[in-house]
Amino acid sequence: MTSTQHRTTVWPWIVMAVAGLHTFVASMTVSPDVVQGQLSRIMYVHVPAAWLAYLAFGVTMFASAMYLWKKDFRWDRRALASAEIGVLFTALAIGLGMIWAKPTWGVWWTWDARLTLTSIMFFVYLGYLALRRTTDNLDVRAARSAIFGVLAVVQVPLVHFSVIWWRTLHQPPTLLNPEGPAMDTAMVITLLIAVASFTVIYVAMMFKRIELARLEDEVLVADQTSSGPVAGQAVTAPGLTKGS
């Protein structure tokens, strides 16, 4: 329809591959933790995934608020892109936490405050994405999801505090200190590298996902404008001939 340039970018793919490889090499070459042994390597993917889960959530909420303020669809697409990537990293953070917890504590799951909060956030994200599927009207979809995004911003801190109070009321968080008292400097640096690399992956994914969101919106608009008269004819014309 519109003669917008469908310019595609290749650099995010390259950046993703390089950053991913970088994290892998860094976390495999660093010496293992004295206490935890090789298992400490899981931390270099678990911690960045958890960090991105929170970052992506924050970006979605910020973009939602910006959409309500500016009424600019670019903010709506940013919110969507960040939410979808956020679901991925939240699921990863939870899954990797389980993979670490099973050999370390002997259980897949503990009722740690942060873990509980992350799993609740995962469902808030899923609800946000499901809400976006309820309508094809771009304005309605953007407004609804933005208001839900802002509502989540109001509620999630309360979820956070309630879960923390709930845990501290029952048991002091003693065993829940995955890093231990003192961490090796090389390990800290590797962790920071991994967090930075994953953040770069997030940014690159955002670029591609926003590009996809823009294309999907265009497809939706194209479908709606082209199918309108066709559907109308299909309903009226045959009815006239067959009815009489």
Site membership for other proteins, residue 133 (CB under 8 A):
yes
Q: Which of 11, 25, 31, 37 binds other proteins (CB under 8 A)?
A: 37
Q: Which is nearer to other proteins, 183 or 240 (CB)?
A: 183
Site membership for other proteins, residue 151 (CB under 8 A):
yes
The partner residues of 37 in beta bridges, in order of sequence, read 33
Site membership for other proteins, residue 196 (CB under 8 A):
no
Q: Which of 18, 26, 143, 176 binds other proteins (CB under 8 A)?
A: 143
* Rounded distance between C-alpha atoms, residue 130 and residue 146, angstroms: 13
Secondary structure of the chain in the HEC alphabet? CCCCCCCCCCHHHHHHHHHHHHHHHHHHHCCCECCCEHHHHHHHHHHHHHHHHHHHHHHHHHHHHHHHHHCCHHHHHHHHHHHHHHHHHHHHHHHHHHHHHHHHHCCCCCCCHHHHHHHHHHHHHHHHHHHHCCCCCHHHHHHHHHHHHHHHHHHHHHHHHHHHHHHHHHCCCCCCCCCCCCCCHHHHHHHHHHHHHHHHHHHHHHHHHHHHHHHHHHHHHHHHHHHHHHHHHHHHHHHHHHHC
Q: Which is nearer to other proteins, 133 or 242 (CB)?
A: 133
Site membership for other proteins, residue 35 (CB under 8 A):
no
Site string for other proteins, 74-103 (x = CB under 8 A): -----------x--x--xx--xx--xx-xx
Count of residues that interact with other proteins, criterion CB under 8 A: 67
Q: Which of 140, 188, 231, 234 binds other proteins (CB under 8 A)?
A: 140
Q: Which of 65, 66, 196, 212 binds other proteins (CB under 8 A)?
A: 212
Q: Which two tokens stand for residue 219?
A: 């497809």
Q: Which of 15, 18, 26, 159 binds other proteins (CB under 8 A)?
A: 159
* Rounded distance between C-alpha atoms, residue 92 and residue 109, angstroms: 14
Site membership for other proteins, residue 6 (CB under 8 A):
yes
In the complex, the residues that contact other proteins under the rule CB under 8 A are 5-6, 8, 13, 16, 20, 24, 37-39, 41-42, 45-46, 49, 68, 85, 88, 91-92, 95-96, 99-100, 102-103, 120-121, 123-124, 126-127, 130-131, 133-135, 139-140, 143-144, 147-148, 150-152, 154-155, 158-159, 161-163, 165-166, 169, 201, 205, 208-209, 211-212, 215-216, 218-219, 222
